[in-house]
Structure 1
């Protein structure tokens, strides 16, 4: 009597662009958490100050911005304390830029592992975005301390109900960086010089986003350029919620959400297509 074998896992090549098994990604959530833990431990295992570096970097950057953009260039902060204003932009931007940069090289950095062991490839970029949340949480705690000081001690800022949108804003930042990162990671498997373009592009994108300045300080005839940036609505909403100042308009956040979802969908589809053959070109 012939006994039919029952397989618990089936690995097969499927060239369909839309064949994305999200259920399988969920089944490997333990691997995701393990990669996040490994990332945190290995990165700071041989450092003297450890997680304290998470505080040092935004503090020093904020002080430099206060000197350059606040005291020398005298850019408007909409009446907000300069330290709180610049720290708000740095906190969000650090998470976005690091997630995008590291996700963009996920194929190249993990080619040795991906070529030997099977697991849903989406786990790798997801682990980068999730692990970045730990660094963001520490820097966000520093930002909250500054907000509490200027709110209850100095009385210079007045947070409002829009601070409740912070989890949603963070989700948008994660999805946007994940989508863009997967698009670039898929392209750089074949076109290696795009890595240099990305590095340069991120620097330009920072100055094309309201990180060190507010939308209200931009001349009217150029505002449409800034508003067309999907990051603008996220930064302006974040500042408006915590600092109570700025020119935030809800429609800009809606536009940011729509553009982010489109970029994420495109990124996932392209990543899913390239992951089947990237070992031939990486």
Structure 2
């Protein structure tokens, strides 16, 4: 039987441990802020999957349409973009069918935005669970990344149906080998949203206003990302502002690979990966620092 024991002084371990018994887990303050504790998380992988199932089921548990909302939400968003930005504002889509163009951006953006929003409130929304029982705190944000990955897979299937339709009926769709970068792009989005989410989750333990600010900020960030417009339509003097956003090259690469039109650059994609790693590093440090004492402030 596994035993979890919190040690305050060395004598506690000596007097409570019976002969021949070995502790499988010792709960003690961590001094290394860069330690993710992945080995410990792996031991709790069943708990991670339990959280994944909870997040996936609870979202639409009492809805009439249930998981169908996974398809309805991106479709309604895409149709809204077609009407407002495609027909009214008449923004360029690089000659691509509007449905395929907007749905590609929406599919990618939804995974990033949903994961970031959910991860940013890990400490505040799960304070009661954290205060009652011990488990690696990282299991919670990781479960959010995985559960949203399932949602992304479902919405990706919807995009592929639309993509196949236009591939067979419209010569404007010209996919290329860069479509093979899709797993790399998904991993990059997951790590970026995880890093930013851990930063905000650490800060929201003291400053609750940041949760509302983040929700508003994500909406604004979408307009600074080529979700509703291609980078080619941006004036040269403003392009650097959009490309400074690490999500911009990810969205453009995804669209370029599947639809064959857009802006692709290994340099900008490499920049996105570097920024992602830096943000993830900062997120790990802040998350590990706050998790030791967040119950005192939440």
Q: TM-score with structure 1 length normalisation?
A: 0.97
Q: Give the distance between the partners of 2:30 and 2:74, measured in 1 at CA.
A: 45
Change (3 A) 1:56 1:19: closer
Q: Give the distance between the partners of 2:26 and 2:120, measured in 1 at CA.
A: 29
Paired residues for 1:3-82 under 5 Å = 3=19, 5-82=21-98
Structure ID, larger Rg: 2
Residue number in structure 1 paired with 2:125: 109
Residue number in structure 1 paired with 2:3: none
Offset of 1:4 from its aligned partner? 5.3
The number of equivalent residue pairs is: 281
Residue number in structure 1 paired with 2:151: 135
Q: Give the distance between the partners of 1:110 and 1:238, measured in 2 at CA.
A: 34
Task: Answer yes or no: is 1:226 the counterpart of 2:260.
Answer: no
Q: 1:236 aligns with which of 243, 248, 252?
A: 252
Q: 1:253 aligns with which of 253, 264, 269?
A: 269
Q: Give the distance between the partners of 1:237 and 1:43, measured in 2 at CA.
A: 30
Offset of 1:265 from its aligned partner? 1.2
Partner SS for 1:272: helix
1:125-184 CA-to-partner distances (Å, cap 9, x unmatched) read 000110001111111101001110111123330111111110110001100000000000
Q: Is the 8 A contact 1:15 1:273 kept in 2?
A: no
Q: Give the distance between the partners of 1:136 and 1:92, measured in 2 at CA.
A: 8
Residue number in structure 1 paired with 2:217: 201
Q: Is the 8 A contact 1:55 1:142 kept in 2?
A: yes
Residue number in structure 2 paired with 1:273: 289
Task: Answer yes or no: is 1:187 the counterpart of 2:212.
Answer: no
Q: TM-score with structure 2 length normalisation?
A: 0.92
Q: Give the distance between the partners of 1:258 and 1:118, measured in 2 at CA.
A: 33
TM-align CA RMSD: 1.2
Residue number in structure 2 paired with 1:91: 107
Q: Give the distance between the partners of 1:164 and 1:20, measured in 2 at CA.
A: 29
Residue number in structure 1 paired with 2:186: 170
Q: Is the 8 A contact 2:195 2:280 kept in 1?
A: yes
Q: Is the 8 A contact 1:125 1:178 kept in 2?
A: yes
